[in-house]
Amino acid sequence: MTVSRDFLAYVLEQLSPLGAVSAKRMFGGAGLYSDEFFFALIADDTLYLRVDDANRDGFTARRMQPFRPYADRPEVSMSYYEAPAEVLESAAELAVWARRSVEVAMRAPPKAAPQKARRAGAARRRRPARSRR
């Protein structure tokens, strides 16, 4: 899973009508964020946008494929679909599709705290109360 600098720069330029979008490198690819909302990813120089029941039909109607992170396990997919080429080529159209994906990310339930943080919180709750004299 790789992303070239040129492709990442192109996608960020195409997303400029959306406003401030940041990219974070991850596992050789890149995650795209609008504020703190993770709405897209780039893997192998392909842009994938986040989907749910509200926007999935636009992708499936165009026969776009879901993101499959494991080549040896094609049955595993994630809630991200490949952006159509004609959408990627139009900054205005991409902004519309990306806004829908940001809305999906905003509706998603918050992720659970990392296990290390949960353990630390549980340890604090188990400590005996101090005796008051």
Supply the pLDDT for residue 130. Answer: 56
Per-residue pLDDT of 38-61, as tens digits, reads 999 998 999 999 999 999 999 999
Supply the pLDDT for residue 123. Answer: 55
User: In a 10 Å sphere around its CB, with 0-12 CB exposed, 13-18 middle and 19+ buried, how is residue 32 labelled?
Assistant: buried
Tokens of 13: 């330029």
What are the angstrom distances between the C-alpha of 122 and each of 25, 37, 42, 127, 128? 31, 27, 36, 9, 12
Please name the residue that has the structure tokens 């959306």.
18
- For the entire predicted model, the pTM comes to 0.76
Supply the pLDDT for residue 75. Answer: 46
Q: Which fold has domain 5-116?
A: Yope Regulator; Chain: A, (3.30.1460)
Residue spans per domain, the chain: 5-116
- pLDDT interval class at 131 (50, 70, 90): low
Residue 23 or residue 70, greater confidence: 23
- pLDDT interval class at 122 (50, 70, 90): low
What are the angstrom distances between the C-alpha of 55 and each of 36, 50, 66, 87? 20, 9, 13, 14
